[in-house]
A and B are shown apart, each in its own frame.
Chain A
């Protein structure tokens, strides 16, 4: 059974593309057949994050407008044969792609792949509506800050109105020390407000950035906390029951609370 997942957020820059790239590579590492669709032409595109920029021949708009077959436009990952990318167009008019087109495309890809993951543009405009059209599952990415959580809340409402009811949450760029000191929202508050199933808590980790610059998502890197967090999310997507990890660099208080059993498995 294959699954079409859209990665969305409302607010820009919270880590949608990073999440898409990491989940894609992570699922491919676990032997799944995966295709990633980039529907956003932002500053950091999926092809860059995956180190595939120089291999692009065709893009999403070419496929939609029938200039090439899907197969020809897909870019195969260097390391994983079972991971493909359908890149976004850097120059062509993106409004050429509408929700119905993407639905058809997703249903086509669904036949061949275990996971179709769509990187969505920020905002709730046309691009968002297009990106979510063909999806079974939506992953909402947010950060532990007030404005990002508000936008996530709106997006979840919007997804509900579009009859997307299978929605999951990833909280990205957590800084445990700041959460501890009250400068960042804590996980319980975020979960209480958003009230959807949380499948990932990813710490802020410089390795996310350095590995992205190399075009190798951090997910394979066991020395990185974020890398392990992404690997855990991959497991949860595949139906495994994996507890949330405790972050290192805990403050004195967390340890104290834990000692008394007051803190849930973070």
Chain B
């Protein structure tokens, strides 16, 4: 198994810590320790790492925080604006958009997302499983659910109005795209076909799709 559980990436605006969300805290801890100890002195004291994770347990986040501070480092928790626009560029700044040139990233989760869970990613999110009532999915890009969506979904959370939400059965409590909110009707019909929510003419609309 040569899966990288933890990756540290340097960028022009600091270091990013990428963590595989399927790893346990123990594994993560061991990996981070190994990484930090193998390059002593490489990271200046007080370096703040930006956590590039989504599906991380609060307890794991806390664990990483503690671990880093033990080493004299920290986690950068400052809320970030859409630093990298992933699924599209803001329409105003770029009229002839070239999707090929945009880096596409996607977070994939192959499981049920249960009530009380919160999944956040700056990229798009693909979930192969149900999103249950009381769960929240927040993506910088689009959200695709291969299952039933009964939770709260927010696509384009950092302002991308071109983001969409697709589900095999879309029956969420709330749909949000960019800064718009649509609430589900109080009595929810069971939908039998895949649907897509997107912004059209300044409104969130939900339309059936084939797939």
A193 touches B150 (CB 8 A): yes
Q: How many residues of chain A are within 8 Å of chain B by beta carbon?
A: 10
Residues of chain B with a CB closer than 8 A to A195's CB: 112, 129-130
Please, which residues of chain A bring their CB within 8 A of the CB of B114?
Answer: 153-154, 156-157, 160
Interface residue? B31 (CB, 8 A): no
- B99 sits at the interface (CB 8 A): no
Known: A153-B114, A192-B148. A161 touches B130 (CB 8 A): no
In the complex the two chains form, what is the Cα distance from A150 to B150 in whole Å?
A: 11
A182, chain B: closest CB distance, angstroms? 11
- Say whether A193 contacts B116, CB under 8 Å: no
B134 within 8 A of A: yes
Interface of A (DSSP majority class): helix
Interface size on B, as a range, is 10 to 19
B159 interfacial by beta-carbon distance below 8 Å: no
B148 & A153 in contact (Cβ 8 Å cutoff): no
B169 nearest CB neighbor, chain A only: A192
Complexed CA–CA distance, A88 and B80 (Å): 51
* Contact of A150 with B115 in the complex, beta carbons under 8 Å: yes
CB neighbours (8 Å) of A161 from chain B are: 57, 59
Chain B: CB-nearest residue to A146: B133
CA distance A100 to B116 in the complex (A): 27
CB distance from B118 to the nearest CB of A (A): 11
Report if B122 contacts A (CB, 8 A).
no
- A153's partner among B57, B59, B129, B132 (CB-CB below 8 A) is B132
Contacts of A150 in B (CB 8 A): 115, 133-134
CA distance A160 to B99 in the complex (A): 39
B117 sits at the interface (CB 8 A)? yes
B154 to A: closest C-beta gap in Å: 20
Q: Is the CB of B134 within 8 A of A154?
A: yes
Residues of A within 8 A of B148 (CB): 192-193
Digitize B63-86: 1 where CB-to-A-CB distance is under 8 Å, 0 elsewhere.
Answer: 000000000000000000000000
A157 and B130 contacting across the interface, CB-CB below 8 Å:
no
Q: How far is the CB of B100 from chain A (nearest CB, A)?
A: 38
Whole-angstrom CA separation of A120 from B133 in the bound complex: 24
Chain B proximity mask over A175-193: 1 for CB below 8 Å, otherwise 0 = 0000000000000000011
Contact A157 B150 (CB under 8 A): no
CA distance A150 to B117 in the complex (A): 12
Which residues from chain A contact B59 at a C-beta distance below 8 Å?
Answer: 161
How far apart are the CA atoms of A50 and B114 in the complex, in Å? 35
Q: Are A193 and B57 in contact (CB under 8 A)?
A: no
B116 touches A157 (CB 8 A): yes
Give me the 4 closest cross-chain CB pairs, A-B, nearest first. Answer: A157-B114, A153-B115, A154-B115, A195-B112
12 sampled A-B residue pairs with Cβ under 8 A: A150-B115, A153-B115, A153-B132, A154-B115, A157-B117, A161-B59, A192-B148, A193-B130, A193-B132, A193-B133, A195-B112, A195-B130
Q: A150-B134, A193-B148 are in contact. List 14 more A-B contacts (CB 8 A).
A: A150-B133, A153-B115, A153-B116, A153-B132, A153-B134, A154-B115, A154-B116, A154-B134, A157-B114, A157-B116, A193-B130, A193-B132, A193-B150, A195-B130
